[in-house]
Chains A and B, each alone.
Chain A
Amino acid sequence: MPESLKEDGLGPSGDEFYNLLLELHTGLDEAESHALNARLVLLMANEIGDIERLKAVFEAAAKYR
């Protein structure tokens, strides 16, 4: 695990987050889900803000193909 990634940022809210995410996608077709995911990435990137942390997240995500 890259050192700059948080071990567990969600804490006790993990299950709630995951279920809210699925709810957000309920009823969308594939293209709509795809677009929603893109918007989520952009919004979350803005919330994180720090480019160094974003680079670490990108690197971690790209690793698992």
Chain B
Amino acid sequence: MPQYDYQPFDVITPPELGGEGKAKDTYPVAIIGAGPIGLAAAIDLATKGIPSVVLDDNNVVSIGSRAICWAKRTLEIFDRLGVGDRMLEKGVTWKTGRLFHGGSEVYNFDLLPEEGHKYPAFVNLQQYYVEQYLVERAREFPDLIDLRFKNKVIKHNDLGGHVVLLIQSPDGEYEIKAEYVLACDGAGSPTRARMELPFEGQSFEEHFLIADVEMEQSPFETETAERWFWFEPDFHPGQSALLHKQPDNIYRIDLQLGPETDPKTEATEEKVFPRIKAMVGDKPFKLDWMSVYKFRCAKLDRFVHNRVIFVGDSAHVVSPFGARGGNGGIQDVDNLCWKLAMVLNGEASDTLLETYNEERMHGSEENILNSSRATNFMTPKSPVEQLFRNEVLKLSKDLPFARKLINSGRLSTPCSLAGVGLQLDSADENSSMHAGKAVVDAPVTVNGQETWLVSILQGGLKLVGFGDVKLPEVDGVERIGIGCSAGQDYPVFADPNGLALKRYGEGAAYLLRPDGHVLAVFLEPKPEDIISALAPVFSEAKLKEVA
């Protein structure tokens, strides 16, 4: 029995069928799917005052741990949504990846070698906990988030100005109207299937076994949690293996099984137990969850289809090596929700949503590229591919360039939006912090109280000055000074370690998007420059109002 206590969520009769609450003539946003992506989107919209109705065909969190590796950038987004601290507290923090060939270590890498960040490189936390925390957080917005479990969307019709959804619930079928629909319904998206949208890419023939085992004694030889990856280990000859630690003494084991495998036979205790024993030896363990899978890298040609917008796995899927699925999806949410809120509030025209399409198509292409390359390295498809891999592993014993060619998954890093979407014209990528980059963290203080840049710089259009740079006032833009002299007419934070100024450059001012990506960098910010940088964001009416 799994250790996690699965508590079904209450299923409530919707107001359309006589339940409590008031039915809306038109809902601003309907979200299909209450997984991490749909729930994060509902919360993100709620933080901006936008109500949504969340429709899910189930009433329980993810069965099995599924997505477990949450990257630093995702945690920073979850910080903004109000669940980052909780994830950090419960999750297993790690930053080192260790690679083995046969019985010996060939290489290790540190994903966050510097101090001064609120969140670590990675936190491992089972998807069921993440969904539970998100549901509990969503319930803190009872007036804005309408969670409807066991409410399955069975049909939708985009009428141009709004979408009509037909929903099947335990109380019967009913219809609602929504201005926008977010399809967060996962890799097998029924919304995508109804629209008959092509979802093409590369399929991999290789089977993998994924198993969660509960163990009192760690199978690692170290107390510090790390990501361990083996090519051709003695305990699983000729294949690859991956080991991760999760909370509650649960360890994730991933074993490559090869292409010629019967998934049904493999997903049995008779087959799985000896494989785990070969790996962990005589240490006692309990099998918590297992699954045998194949994967593919694929995406939609566009994510925005008039009033139906695809977010997360419904829009793009990757192999799990690199943790780019869930983390990619959360970056979708981060990118989309502020834009959708501005469109719904009349501050932006719907063309702003096209920049979600461009920017996240770019992000998903990057994820698919990295994930396909890793999979090609891990699963040689011909004798010559096997030969090259063997020789890379051989050379890697003492040649650094060969170590860098070993690819067990390039782990999710913040996606830079330089040169795409809203940053189309800002091509200056020479400085470390340029347009398109996601906010970089550093510790700061206010009245002696410690806080973090990720906690104060995200969530709105903000003009942030580092050191002594004067920030002009522009309507609709919040100003913040870091490490500057007191007596400004805007909030000021001290930079006691000098890390913020070091990471952003003294005297630079940054115009930040609400998702914490840099829209523009100024050395002498003038109101007209800021307004012109905001021109692609705002509607004409809003721009006139600001100017």
Contacts and interface: CB of A to CB of B under 8 A. Distances in A.
A7 B376 contact: no
A64 B402 CA distance: 13
B370 interface: yes
A21 B407 CA distance: 15
B296 to A, nearest CB: 17
A7 B400 contact: yes
Contacts of B400: 1, 7-8
B385 A22 contact: yes
B468 interface: no
A5 interface: yes
B401 A6 contact: yes
A17 B407 CA distance: 12
B382 A19 contact: no
Interface in A1-49: 1, 5-10, 14-19, 21-22, 25-26, 28, 30, 33
B385 to A, nearest CB: 6
Interface in B9-25: none
B399 A18 contact: no
Given A7-B400, A18-B373, A25 B385 contact: yes
A28 B384 contact: yes
Contacts of A1: 398-400
A14 B399 contact: no
A14 B385 contact: no
B376 A14 contact: no
Residue in A6, A9, A16, A18 with the greatest tally of chain B CB atoms within 10 Å: A18
B237 interface: no
A17 to B, nearest CB: 8
A65 B290 CA distance: 40
Given A18-B407, A19-B376, A25-B384, A9 B401 contact: yes
A19 B373 contact: yes
A18 B399 CA distance: 16
A22 B399 contact: no
B401 A22 contact: no
B401 A15 contact: no
A21 B2 CA distance: 45
A58 B405 CA distance: 20
Given A15-B370, A28-B384, A64-B394, A10 B376 contact: no
29 contacts: A1-B398, A1-B400, A5-B399, A6-B401, A7-B400, A8-B404, A10-B401, A10-B404, A14-B401, A14-B404, A15-B370, A15-B373, A15-B405, A16-B373, A18-B405, A18-B407, A19-B372, A19-B373, A22-B376, A22-B385, A25-B382, A25-B384, A26-B382, A28-B384, A30-B384, A33-B384, A60-B399, A64-B394, A64-B395
Interface of A: 1, 5-10, 14-19, 21-22, 25-26, 28, 30, 33, 60, 64
Interface of B: 370, 372-373, 376-377, 382-385, 388, 391-392, 394-395, 398-401, 404-405, 407, 410
Given A7-B401, A17-B405, A18-B377, 6 more contacts: A1-B398, A6-B401, A14-B401, A15-B405, A18-B373, A25-B385
- Counting from the closest, the 8 A-B pairs by CB-CB distance are A33-B384, A8-B401, A15-B373, A25-B384, A64-B394, A14-B404, A7-B400, A19-B373
